[in-house]
Structure 1
Amino acid sequence: MNRKIAPKIYNALDFNLKIKPCAHFRLSNNLPVYTLHAGKEEVVSVDFVFFAGNSFEEKNIVAASTNFLLKNGTAQKSAFEINEHFDYYGAFLNRSCYNETAALTLHALTKHLPELLPAMAEILTDATFPQEELDIYRTNAKQKLEVNLTKGDFVANRLIDEYVYGFDHPYGRYTSKEAFDAIEREELADFYKKYYTHGNCMLFVSGYLPDGLETLLDQHFGKLPFNIRPYAPASFNYTTQPCPQKKHTVINDENAVQGAIRIARPFPDRHSENYPKALVMNTIFGGYFGSRLMANIREEKGYTYGIHSYVQNHIKDTALMISTEAGRNVCDATIAEIWKEAKKMRQEPVDEEELMLVKNYLIGSILADIDGPFQIMNHWKTYVLQGLDENYFYKSTNDIKNVTSEEIQYFAQKYLQEEDFWQLVVY
């Protein structure tokens, strides 16, 4: 390499992006496994995804509490011993709970998988949810919630979802001290048995994979009683019940110096034919640091440190969210400028220079998002859980490259109408 010669600059639109395919097989118990062998570092991610999110709970907080306490004790090991075991091998075991799914994820050195997979299997079949661990979790969660409820942005995030989806919808439900007080150990154990030990799940493994991985996985997970009940990922028994009132103001702190603004509406999901093109429209509007909302409300007016519009992608329902915090005395002006920019996008075509900039930004973002085995597998996990395939990747990148200014204006006219949004300010 001659460092006296500057490297050539390429247009991102000229890149022929490709996503590395993943392998698929099933264990002896019919557990679906998706694997991706890539990368030079000998690290691996083992990600169990269960359909055990809050969509499946009959009582608020049970799904999230069960997931949090998964590794806090088994019949053989205490919470301390479990954490010590994974720490000894330099591994990280995390758990996470979402609306439809919940996960138990291991990151470790490839060579230590034989010592770590049995511990994962133990957690998934023999967790005991000790009462003392539940009591500690409950106390800590209530204290954390109490602190968060003093923050306007936290309250705004809770309420806007309720307004858009309805509190009885899994996407609109939120926690309370009373809900934490009401959970019982037996409820967690029952939920665990139904949705983890005998639950419906998938396994995603990526990184530098060892030889004989299929045999190793089948040895530790192939006899577990997963996926016994029939399950259709798209059939969730809930409907959206949005709040009939569209505009809300909440006083959370009389002395607050700023307000948390949230503005949201339903939006097409990834199964929509025009989702990628509508995403380009949103990126221009407020989806990146150089967006119109940023240029106006942050750079020109100085009302906020940052403002963003983004898509809440769920398996069933999706929303477009505009989010910012602004000085208390300029919240109304901030909202007025948001609708001013929306009107401009509806009435005036985007010029080709701005459109080309955003196209390059989005293609470059995709390129960064598939840099590394874990990132690539995150794409595949999204596709599998939402019933998509690699054709979606190639169609979406092609749509981004070829969307026209006229199409951008059409989607702005369709999705940036003020009357279609729920609007909330929390002081």
Structure 2
Amino acid sequence: MLNRTEAPQQHSIQDIDLIQPEVLTFDNGLKVFIFRAAEQSLIKAEFVFNNLFASEENPLLNTCLSSMLKEGTSSRSSAQIADDVDFYGAYLVPEYSYDHSSITLYSLQKYVAQVLPVVQDILTDAIFPEAELATYIRNNKQSLQVSMRKNDYVARKRFYKALFGDTRYGITPTEEAYDNLSREDLISLYRKQVQPQNCTLILSGGVTDEILALIQDLFVQNWPNTADASTQTAPTLPAFEGKLHIEEREDALQSAIRIGIPSINRTHPDFPALQFVNTLFGGYFGSRLMRNIREEKGYTYSIGSALASLRHGGFFTLATEVGVDVTADALKEIEQEFNILNDSLAPEEEVALVKNYMLGTMLGSLESIFSHADKYKSVYFYGLNLDYYKRYTSTIREMTPAKVQEIAKQYFQYDKMYKAVVGKL
């Protein structure tokens, strides 16, 4: 009989075991990583492509390509593609990030044979109809006009431009750039980028040998490379200058604040420790920034910081919106928090709390086979393997107040950061 008057025993989180995938590489260059779960009736098939760029980087073309993949093929209209997928209760979603584009299918195991041919049709015969492209351009120009009136969007735009200049990481859309999109350029990029030799397939769920045979038939035998192999080149990033940029808006009720600096990515040995310091500083609801700026001062509803890993770099960013009457005070408090982080040791209790939070979050994120696949994907595209997570958990467990201060002094220097304020100061 359970004695509910006694609290359960606590146990420290030890090493976390992650599932290794089966790996297949086919003659056409397609790489497949398989995460099987026999008890699952759901299949997730994620086709991931390296983004390719022209000599003048234009990430807008890549985002347009990703968004319009489902807009029609020679044999199916966009409506037919939607109907063919919806009829079987499946879900097909394209996604775009700075370095990769993907299209992911979620389907019940028993209907995979009916919906995978739709994906194969999209990956081999998308036509990007002019009418759908015109609609895409019109809708996104209207959204951009709305966004440009929002202080947080403008601050973010200034921030990325300052960190990454005119590269895939720094360019944001303009109305002129949307007007310059052409179907010919889309098709040219599609024919170079959407190739099996440029594709990685992450297959997870109730994967059977029959499904693998279907994958081989559709995406190996019937998906030849039709262009020479291309590689993703590294962008040439500009010299960074930390400074304060203020954009006054007379009618502003709130000021958007964006602060940050270029930083390391997941391949750097300091990255897990830097994640720890960021979490303590502004990376979760109980962070120092939230306690001070939100709970104690009441300057904002939300404030937070993040560490972003990119294939060719990374960055630290802090973002919030505050009332225009407290903008200057908020900036002073943020600077003070950076100084405290650098100048004094964090309490042992705070370090222990962040350890438990991060290790618990890591453990809680592995609720299914699909989570294991996502964890693998997060390291694979950086040339890493699952040993990364052993190093990660070991680093988190070994963090001390002195290590927190050491990392903060190296990566969290407020005076070296770029600060964008859009509103009033």
TM-score where L is the length of structure 2: 0.94
- Distance in 2, matches of 1:390 and 1:301, equals 42
Q: Aligned letter for 2:213?
A: T
Are 1:53 and 1:97, in contact at CA under 8 Å, matched by a contact in 2? no
Offset of 1:165 from its aligned partner? 1.2
Q: In structure 2, do the counterparts of structure 1 residues 55 and 333 end up closer, same or farther at CA, with 3 Å as the change threshold?
A: farther
Deviations 1:112-143 (A, max 9, x none): 11111111010001111111111111111111
Offset of 1:316 from its aligned partner? 1.0
- Distance in 2, matches of 1:171 and 1:14, equals 37
Matches within 5 A, 1:46-125: 46-52=45-51, 58-59=57-58, 61-125=60-124
- Distance in 2, matches of 1:381 and 1:169, equals 24
Q: State yes or no: 1:301 paired with 2:297.
A: yes
Offset of 1:144 from its aligned partner? 1.1
Q: How many matched pairs?
A: 422
Are 1:287 and 1:309, in contact at CA under 8 Å, matched by a contact in 2? yes
Secondary structure of the 2:304 match is strand
Q: Which residue of 2 aligns with 1:216?
A: 214
Q: Which residue of 1 aligns with 2:235?
A: 238
Offset of 1:261 from its aligned partner? 0.5
Q: Aligned letter for 1:321?
A: T
Are 2:23 and 2:32, in contact at CA under 8 Å, matched by a contact in 1? yes
Q: Aligned letter for 1:210?
A: T
Are 2:155 and 2:422, in contact at CA under 8 Å, matched by a contact in 1? yes
Are 2:52 and 2:193, in contact at CA under 8 Å, matched by a contact in 1? no
Offset of 1:164 from its aligned partner? 0.9
Q: Which residue of 2 aligns with 1:390?
A: 386
Are 2:273 and 2:396, in contact at CA under 8 Å, matched by a contact in 1? yes
Q: State yes or no: 1:256 paired with 2:256.
A: no
Matches within 5 A, 1:21-420: 21-38=20-37, 40-52=39-51, 58-59=57-58, 61-166=60-165, 168-197=166-195, 200-223=198-221, 224-226=223-225, 229-230=228-229, 236-242=233-239, 244=241, 246-251=243-248, 253-420=249-416
Q: In structure 2, do the counterparts of structure 1 residues 53 and 15 end up closer, same or farther at CA, with 3 Å as the change threshold?
A: same
- Distance in 2, matches of 1:57 and 1:200, equals 20
Deviations 1:125-168 (A, max 9, x none): 111111111111111111111111111111111210111111x1
Q: In structure 2, do the counterparts of structure 1 residues 404 and 283 end up closer, same or farther at CA, with 3 Å as the change threshold?
A: same
Secondary structure of the 1:212 match is helix
Any stretches of 5+ residues in structure 1 without a counterpart? none
- Distance in 1, matches of 2:226 and 2:97, equals 19
- Distance in 1, matches of 2:149 and 2:3, equals 54
Q: In structure 2, do the counterparts of structure 1 residues 301 and 226 end up closer, same or farther at CA, with 3 Å as the change threshold?
A: farther
Identity %: 32
- Distance in 1, matches of 2:87 and 2:167, equals 42
- Distance in 1, matches of 2:130 and 2:197, equals 23
Are 2:29 and 2:198, in contact at CA under 8 Å, matched by a contact in 1? no
Q: Aligned letter for 1:10?
A: Q
Q: Aligned letter for 1:391?
A: D
Deviations 1:269-311 (A, max 9, x none): 1111121112111111111111111111111111111111111
Any stretches of 5+ residues in structure 2 without a counterpart? none
- Distance in 2, matches of 1:227 and 1:414, equals 48
